[in-house]
Amino acid sequence: MAPSPFPACALFKPLLLFSLLPTIATSSAIKFSHLPLFEYETHQLTDEFLSTLTPDIRALVAFGSASDSLPPKNTSACKVFPGDTNWPSPAVWTALNTTLNGALISTVPAASPCYTNWGNYNADTCAAVTKNFTNPYFHEDDPTSNMWPIYQGKTCLPTAASNTTCSLGGYPTYVVNVSQVSQIQIALNFARNTDIRLVIKNTGHCYLGKSLGAGALSIWTHNLKTISFLPDYRSDSGYTGAVFKVGAGVTVREIYKAAHDNNVTVTGGICESVGFAGGYVTGGGHTPMSTHYGMAADNVEALEVVTADGRFITASNSSNPDLFWALRGGGGSTFGIVTSVVVRAHPRIPVVTSTFQFSTTESGISNDDFWDIMKAWWKMFPVLGDKQTYSYFWIWPTEDAGFRFEMKPFWAPGYTLEKFYELLDPWFSLLKEKKVKFDPNPLYFDAFYPAYHVSWGNETVGRVTKIPGNRIFPRGNWESEEKFEVMFNAIRNTSLNGVVVGGYHQAPMNRLNQDNAVSSAFRHTVSFLIGGPTVSAEAGREEMREAAKVLDRDILGPWRKVAPESEFGGSYLNEANVAEPGWQESFYGVQYPRLLEIKRKWDPKEVFYATTAVGSEGWEVRDGDWGTKTQDGRLCRVGT
Ligand SMILES: Cc1cc2nc3c(=O)[nH]c(=O)nc-3n(C[C@H](O)[C@H](O)[C@H](O)COP(=O)(O)OP(=O)(O)OC[C@H]3O[C@@H](n4cnc5c(N)ncnc54)[C@H](O)[C@@H]3O)c2cc1C
Ligand SMILES: *[C@@H]1O[C@H](CO)[C@@H](O)[C@H](O)[C@H]1NC(C)=O
Ligand SMILES: *[C@@H]1O[C@H](CO)[C@@H](O)[C@H](O)[C@H]1NC(C)=O
Ligand SMILES: *[C@@H]1O[C@H](CO)[C@@H](O)[C@H](O)[C@H]1NC(C)=O
Ligand SMILES: *[C@@H]1O[C@H](CO)[C@@H](O)[C@H](O)[C@H]1NC(C)=O
Ligand SMILES: *[C@@H]1O[C@H](CO)[C@@H](O)[C@H](O)[C@H]1NC(C)=O
Ligand SMILES: *[C@@H]1O[C@H](CO)[C@@H](O)[C@H](O)[C@H]1NC(C)=O
Ligand SMILES: *[C@@H]1O[C@H](CO)[C@@H](O)[C@H](O)[C@H]1NC(C)=O
Ligand SMILES: *[C@@H]1O[C@H](CO)[C@@H](O)[C@H](O)[C@H]1NC(C)=O
Ligand SMILES: *[C@@H]1O[C@H](CO)[C@@H](O)[C@H](O)[C@H]1NC(C)=O
């Protein structure tokens, strides 16, 4: 089996100044008396602490004020960048580091041991880094590394050419290795008060490079790993039942394990290394459990957040409800820095999972037969969604001008083997009639976790040869034969043009009946497709520009046409084409105007920026034209 073209899951020191930071008594800081803060959340920045600092240092790390809402001064056309006269002096960075208890790290690119210009050249380390560069956990453990080097600017890839130069590119300049909320507040205040770009990195999974940024101060949430289980929670939204409170650095794998250990189920993504409480949940988060519980964001009951003014607040139904609304689907790195989320936990549920594949070559069938089978498969999506199932599949053009279909897997929660066959037998009959060689081999598990484990493996990341995009297809396309045909022909044509198509049938709908910022496209969809052109590892500006054009015009163009925003088509902001035209409506659906209003209210000084995030249209990264949008450049206001 060839590897998936995208990083999908193949089945394939002492703290010297610690005592300076006061520990807030848990009771005084809690908005919900029944929901304790994590220990790391009890260490908060206070006005008392600020008053112990010298005035010049205090001015740099003090909280924001009402004057933040004044129109920005003309001097701030661009964020302050290394080399600028306003860039803080080494002494200031050292002072910042002191207030941070020594948690400030100066960026050393992960692959720098492969080069001589960083002074840390080591052939053995370089070999290990080279080997590890496709391993997501390697990038997660590094303070600044990112899994999509194209958006970093490819300035420090693992290489055997040690005499070439490794530069920072889109990596941030400094990073705060956060272990307390107070450090997030100090770093954020510092970035705002000095007008330096701020980025947030959790795992570095983002497809669009949103956890990168040249000349930035980065907040690294990776070590905020606490998880707690509360079996009897009463939320201010009206929900009563089990919840988890999950730290910002927890991965999907860690929360799945905790859920299993507590005999419950949570809504997470399909790749185990993806962060749970960062970009995933705030971006909406699609999940195999959407069949029962909608989007991951629909399951959020509260979040603890550091806002742009540096204050630490709770967002929930009764506390800052507008922020609560926006943080559930409105995207990461936009409204605040989440330190933990409270999510619903559901009863244990059995799952039937089925992984199989077939090809025109192995089965000796014609391409017409293959596409008849695909059409029958596609036609079932609304029913399959209504029957609470989900699938992840791939269609590969093969070398002998045929096609291969890979189901990996079909996912049926709450099903028995009998019910599984009952649902899919009509389609399987067609396969048998066409003499297709396949073996669905469905497996029954009495819980999510073991089913998850046989269905999805570890992903391959760190490659520079793909630029993907996606489209969300609305149910309305299935409502008339004519519309269906037009859509199906467009998708088949993508495949015929040699593009590998990854797909899902999934219908998150609004199963928990939530009012939040999850894109309206997700509420209407029954399927979601991923595709993208291949580029060479050495692709320069011209090749990248051409590939971006192919993605936009030849792959996503026809998909957009058959799934326009006006009919609730759209694109998933977390796995999208970084250059998606009209991304506001495409990524955020009908929610965009309200999201923008909330963004302006909570972040008047535009501390938070990420490409394609709400409110980012006023900014651009001047990266010298890479043919695609990288984070390797200065962040400036558009038109300045
Ligand atoms: C291999 C792979 C598989 C995937 N599978 C799925 C899937 O099944 N379902 C799905 O919905 N998505 C999936 N995704 C997409 C995933 O949801 C996004 O990449 C998401 O942004 C990852 O979030 P992160 O926090 O791990 O990554 P990061 O790259 O660290 O962060 C992503 C964005 O969130 C921001 N952010 C991170 N932490 C915080 C925080 N604490 N507060 C505020 N902002 C924050 C960052 O600044 C950045 O803008 C997958 C991605 C990959 C690469
Ligand atoms: C600031 O910039 C705006 C628009 O570029 C201009 O109209 C205005 O006069 C400038 N103000 C100052 C104080 O320079
Ligand atoms: C911050 O302080 C710690 C502890 O003294 C030190 O190890 C680290 O190198 C410092 N960071 C920077 C960027 O100087
Ligand atoms: C690869 O990365 C993982 C995760 O950081 C680490 O545990 C492992 O030691 C690394 N392997 C090598 C060979 O460096
Ligand atoms: C790097 O070294 C290789 C062989 O050692 C040589 O061929 C190449 O020209 C050198 N490149 C530069 C940029 O000096
Ligand atoms: C980050 O801080 C944690 C303590 O919270 C420490 O264990 C870890 O080694 C630090 N990581 C780096 C890369 O400095
Ligand atoms: C949640 O908030 C809404 C809007 O403020 C309010 O109408 C509703 O009563 C709240 N739910 C509960 C259970 O308090
Ligand atoms: C686990 O949850 C299931 C479903 O709610 C329940 O039937 C079972 O008794 C639970 N098992 C344990 C050990 O609590
Ligand atoms: C993924 O990799 C991790 C770390 O190497 C390993 O512990 C885990 O079991 C792997 N997961 C699967 C499903 O293979
Ligand atoms: C199929 O794709 C080709 C190549 O992009 C294009 O010329 C043709 O118009 C497309 N046909 C349909 C029916 O979409």
- Average pLDDT for the chain: 93
- Counting atoms of ligand 4 from 1, which one is nearest the CA of 132? 1
Please give the pLDDT value at position 32: 46
Q: How many angstroms does the Cα of residue 340 sit away from the middle of ligand 4?
A: 27
Helix (H, G, I), strand (E, B) or coil at 361: helix
- Is residue 558 within 8 A of residue 490, CB to CB? The reply is yes
Mind giving me the DSSP string for 366-427?
-HHHHHHHHHHHHHTHHHHHHTT-EEEEEEEE-TTS-EEEEEEEEEEET--HHHHHHHHHHH
The token duo for 249 is 């650095």
Q: Report how far apart, in Å, the C-alpha atoms of 270 and of each of 140, 392, 453 are.
A: 17, 9, 10
The number of the ligand 1 atom at minimal distance from the alpha carbon of 8 is 1
Nearest ligand to the CA of 161 is: 5
Element (H or E) spanning 256, and its range? helix 252-261
* Spatial separation of the C-alpha atoms in residues 628 and 638, rounded to whole Å: 17
Which residue's C-alpha comes closest to atom 10 of ligand 5? Answer: 163
Pocket flag, ligand 9, residue 457 (CB < 6 Å): yes
Token pair recorded at residue 77: 């056309």
Q: Which atom of ligand 4 is nearest to the CA of 141?
A: 5
Count Cβ atoms below 10 Å from residue 371 Cβ, excluding itself: 19
CA nearest to 234, candidates 70, 351, 344, 309: 344
What is the residue type of 159?
T
Domain spanning 351-591 has what CATH number?
A: 3.40.462.20
**Ligand 9 lined by 440 (C-beta under 6 Å):** no
The answer to whether the CB of 135 is under 6 A from ligand 4 is yes
For residue 90, say if its preceding peptide bond is cis, omega within 30 degrees of 0. no
Q: Which of 605, 569, 576 is nearest to 590 (CA)?
A: 569
Q: Cα(241) to centroid of ligand 8, in Å?
A: 15
Q: What pLDDT is recorded for position 68?
A: 56
DSSP 103-157: -EEE---TTGGG-STTS---HHHHHHHHHHTT-HHHHHHSSS--S-HHHHTSSS-
Spans in the chain with pLDDT lower than 70: 1-34, 66-75
Q: Is 609 within 8 Å of 172 (Cβ atoms)? A: no
Out of 493, 501, 560, give the residue to mutate to test ligand 10, the one with the largest number of ligand atoms within 8 Å of its CB. 493
Separation CA 252–CA 221 (nearest Å): 15
Question: Which of 106, 182, 218, 223 has most ligand 6 atoms within 8 Å of CB, for mutation?
Answer: 223
The CA dihedral of 135, 140, 146, 149, to the nearest 10 degrees, is -10
Query: Which residue from 445, 264, 239, 452 is spatially nearest to 346, judged by alpha carbons?
Result: 264
The model carries a pTM of 0.94
| pLDDT, position 203 | 98
Task: Give the pair of three-digit tokens for residue 245.
Answer: 């409170």
Integer Cα distance of 272 and 257 in angstroms: 10
Q: For atom 6 of ligand 8, which residue has the closest CA?
A: 348
Using the mean position of ligand 1's atoms as its centre, give its distance from the Cα of residue 160 in Å: 31
Q: Whose CA is nearest to atom 7 of ligand 9?
A: 458
Sequence length of the chain is: 640
Query: Cα–Cα distance between 281 and 340 in angstroms, integer?
Result: 11
- How much distance in Å is there from the Cα of 177 to the middle of ligand 6? 6
Q: Whose CA is closest to atom 12 on ligand 7? A: 237
Distance of CA 292 from the midpoint of ligand 5 (Å): 58
Nearest CA to ligand 4 atom 6: 138
Closest ligand to Cα 448: 8
Q: Compute the CA torsion angle 37, 41, 47, 53 (nearest 10 deg).
A: 160
